[in-house]
Chains A and B, each alone.
Chain A
Amino acid sequence: MSRDLKMAFRNPSSFLNPLMFFVISISLFPIAISPEAQTLSSMAPGIIWVITMLSVLLSLNSLFHYDYDNGVLEQMVISHHSLPLILLAKTLAHWTLSGLPIIILSPFLGMALFINSEGIYILVLTLIIATPCLSLIGSIGASLVVGIKNSGMLLSLLILPLYIPILIFATSAVSQSQSNLPIDGQLYFLGFILILSLLITPFLSAISLKISLE
């Protein structure tokens, strides 16, 4: 994990580009739709969550790609260390570089889109619970398409349907919290997806990677 972070900080465009995409896209919505607080606050949870997903998708391609190109991935597969654990560490490094900055920036962008304080709190909470799921689920797709050139579109087609339940429950939690409605169900569901992703995605990614390297 420290290796991946070190590599990313020496080549910062790899994680700064998706982050810039996140900030710029969200900043454009008030200009394109309406600067009115009521309109923006009702749309904000959906806007922030959709852009979060697209931003994570943008960075997913590089999760295994560079290590595949230079042969490090082969050494990981034949390593006597557990491959699922190696992949989990790589995925956590990916989340640190893609999900964590989004979590830190989201309160400011939430305020810019007029989400109330309760809504911002829940927005951050849903991002903390669900952005690791985006990286973990995305790692399965990234490992499946690792040997295919220009696989961005294929990766999106594979992964976006799996992101839909997260999108529905996360945006619904933020929207309902703005109206002071109960959101326990949505948070439990997101928590369940996180635990499930942590338990099974490293193994599925390891199997996919071995198939891709054949």
Chain B
Amino acid sequence: MSTLKINNLSCQRGYNLLFENLSFELNSGEVLKISGPNGSGKTSLIKILAGLNSFETGSIKYDDTKINSEKYNLDFLYLGHLVALSPELSCLENLKYTAHLGNNNINHDFSDALTQVGLEKFENELVGKLSAGQRKRIALSLLFITQSKVWLLDEPFSALDSKAIKIIETRIEDHCSTGGLCILTTHQECNIKNIKEISL
């Protein structure tokens, strides 16, 4: 049973206070959707949880260890709104590189991951030749090979068609049913079971 505890978190960018005294707790098996208008700090919050951005006050603890501890680093997967793919590399090359860069904790069935998101025919295609939706699918195919417990997904459904959104929603539900936890930001409606929501 893993728990992510956020306590009295405040974040300021320049002179703008994005949010303050934000507290929530997420346990294994739970999904949290962060919603709010543009510029309310959704991406900043996800980046703080990923250890990319700093915060002003408060604390973040994962199973009573601090953020950026070795346990936390090995246990989380972050997918930003940028797809983290190089246009000069093929789908398979990109997926292998990002997977190895992000976490040791992966299975190595990259072809199966691409099949899951419907891109099995594009393994050796250069990413630069693919559409925005296809690129997003490649980025999200990481969800099928990672064994990280904490998923931090920034706008995972942008540029995806309804079929791909369904595939990703099902994958998130499967992940949580096996003890994982997921935090995501989106402006779209989610059809994920038992999803919690906070608004910034």
Q: For the complex, give the distance between the alpha carbons of A7 and B97 in Å.
A: 12
Q: Which residues of A contact B80 (CB under 8 A)?
A: 71, 74
Task: Give per-residue flags for B96-131: 1 if the beta carbon is below 8 A from chain A beta carbons, else 0.
Answer: 011001111000000000000000000000100000
Q: What's the minimum C-beta distance from B185 to chain A, rounded to whole angstroms?
A: 15
Q: Which residues of B contact A67 (CB under 8 A)?
A: 86
Task: Give per-residue flags for A40-83: 1 if the beta carbon is below 8 A from chain B beta carbons, else 0.
Answer: 00000000000000000000000000110111101111111100
The verdict on A80 contacting B74 (CB below 8 Å), with A7-B89, A11-B88, A214-B53 known, is yes
Q: What's the minimum C-beta distance from B86 to chain A, rounded to whole angstroms?
A: 6
Closest to A6 in B: B89
B143 within 8 A of A: no
- A71 in contact with B82 (CB, 8 Å): yes
- How many residue pairs link A and B with beta carbons under 8 A? The number is 67
Task: Give per-residue flags for B76-94: 1 if the beta carbon is below 8 A from chain A beta carbons, else 0.
Answer: 0010111111111100010
Q: What's the minimum C-beta distance from B8 to chain A, rounded to whole angstroms?
A: 21
- B82 in contact with A74 (CB, 8 Å): yes
Task: Classify the interface of chain A: helix, strand, loop or mixed.
Answer: helix
Q: Which residues of B contact A80 (CB under 8 A)?
A: 70, 73-74, 102-104
B168 within 8 A of A: no
A10 within 8 A of B: yes
In-complex Cβ contact of A78 among B50, B81, B126 (8 A): B50
Q: What's the minimum C-beta distance from B32 to chain A, rounded to whole angstroms?
A: 19
A3 within 8 A of B: yes
In-complex Cβ contact of B102 among A79, A213, A214 (8 A): A79
Q: Which residues of B contact A214 (CB under 8 A)?
A: 52-54
Closest to A4 in B: B86
Q: For the complex, give the distance between the alpha carbons of A11 and B127 in Å.
A: 13
Residues of B in contact with A, size category = 20 to 34
Q: Which residues of A contact B70 (CB under 8 A)?
A: 80
Q: For the complex, give the distance between the alpha carbons of A71 and B89 in Å.
A: 14
In-complex Cβ contact of A66 among B51, B86, B98, B102 (8 A): B86
Q: Which residues of A contact B98 (CB under 8 A)?
A: 72, 75
Q: For the complex, give the distance between the alpha carbons of A21 and B97 in Å.
A: 32
Q: For the complex, give the distance between the alpha carbons of A77 and B74 in Å.
A: 14
Q: For the complex, give the distance between the alpha carbons of A67 and B73 in Å.
A: 21
- A7 in contact with B88 (CB, 8 Å): yes
Q: Which residues of B contact A11 (CB under 8 A)?
A: 88
Q: Which residues of A contact B102 (CB under 8 A)?
A: 75, 78-80
Q: What's the minimum C-beta distance from A5 to chain B, rounded to whole angstroms?
A: 11
Task: Give per-residue flags for B162-185: 1 if the beta carbon is below 8 A from chain A beta carbons, else 0.
Answer: 000000000000000000000000
Q: What's the minimum C-beta distance from B194 to chain A, rounded to whole angstroms?
A: 28
Q: Which residues of A contact B83 (CB under 8 A)?
A: 70-71
- A74 in contact with B84 (CB, 8 Å): yes
- Other than the given A71-B80, A214-B53, 13 more pairs (CB < 8 A) read A3-B86, A3-B93, A6-B88, A7-B88, A66-B86, A70-B83, A71-B84, A74-B84, A75-B98, A80-B73, A80-B74, A80-B103, A86-B101
Pairs A–B under 8 Å by Cβ, sample size 30: A3-B93, A6-B88, A6-B89, A6-B93, A7-B89, A10-B88, A70-B85, A70-B87, A71-B80, A71-B81, A72-B84, A72-B86, A72-B98, A74-B52, A74-B78, A74-B82, A76-B101, A77-B52, A78-B50, A78-B51, A78-B73, A78-B78, A80-B73, A80-B74, A80-B103, A80-B104, A86-B101, A213-B52, A214-B52, A214-B53
A binding-site residues for B, Cβ under 8 Å: 3, 6-7, 10-11, 66-67, 69-72, 74-81, 86, 213-214
